[in-house]
Amino acid sequence: MRRDHRPYWLKKLHLKIQEAYARHFIKPQFDSLGDGFTFLNPWNIEVFGSPITIGRYANIITTSDHKVRFTVWAKEKDKGKITIGDYCLICPGVRISSAEEIIIADNCMLASSVYVTDADWHGVYNRVHSLGDPKGVYIAENAWIGDSAIICKGVRIGENSIVGAGSVVVQSVPPNVIAAGNPARVVRDLDPEIPFVKRAEWFADPALLNRDIDRLDRDNLAGNTFSHWLRTWLFPQNRD
């Protein structure tokens, strides 16, 4: 499809169904989930273990072939924990797996297929030791983790830093840099004179933001009818 053929009311109904599903089936699986969350295709979110907490205004996007998974699995009491701050974006295919502790601070963005783990999940020599030697992970405020990057145990990602697509991070990344590669290394410093615009600013006035998004939907879907959408769904054509 070249565009969204749904009429405005049908898209809004679809979003309401997703919101109801998320509140009924997904929210209770978290120890805490802040207000203002938006989960797209929430039936593709998998939550296992506890404690797992997410702050306010979380955006989680999934697709049928790229589920988002949060997993806490520890052999010792009080081990294993996932804490995600406010205003975070989690894209399709992200996996976060904890046996020790993973903290993701406010305003962070995790692109598609990112994997964050604080354990090897097997011992180096004792292969039946199911966790190895876990070490916590901390991703500081406003960090951006690129597509398919892997954040390994014991790593700290500094504030505002960017991890390039496909990178494997096995050592900590300082603040205000871009790191990339396998293993990841610093390839560029960010300009300290340029201010950052964080996701929190986007949500500064939620009511205004919702009105703007609604107006955009009305404009983009104007003229779409149910019969036209049904035809494009059942009998698609190359011009659709």
Contact indicator for 87, 56 with CB cutoff of 8 Å: yes
Q: Which has the closest alpha carbon to 142: 167, 113, 108?
A: 108
Residue 92 has a pLDDT of 98
**Tokens 């190895």 -> residue:** 132
Catalytic-labelled residue, pool 14, 24, 66, 122: 122
Which CATH architecture is the domain 31-204 placed in? 3 Solenoid (2.160)
Domain spans of the chain? 31-204
CA distances from 193 to 158, 189, 196 (A): 17, 12, 9
pLDDT of residue 213: 94
Q: What is the pLDDT of residue 126?
A: 86
Task: State the pLDDT at residue 83.
Answer: 99
Contact 105, 123 (CB under 8 A): no
pTM of the entire structure?
Answer: 0.94
DSSP code at position 60: E
Residue 70, classified by CB atoms within 10 Å of its CB into exposed (0-12), middle (13-18) or buried (19+), is buried
Known active-site residue 122: yes
Q: pLDDT 10s per residue in the chain (240 long)? A: 789 999 999 999 999 999 999 999 999 999 999 999 999 999 999 999 999 999 999 999 999 999 999 999 987 888 899 999 999 999 999 999 999 999 999 999 999 999 999 999 998 888 887 788 899 999 999 999 999 999 999 999 999 999 999 999 999 999 999 999 999 999 999 998 999 999 999 999 999 999 999 999 999 999 999 999 999 999 999 888
Q: What is the pLDDT of residue 178?
A: 99
CA angle in degrees (0–180, nearest 5) for 191-195-200: 130
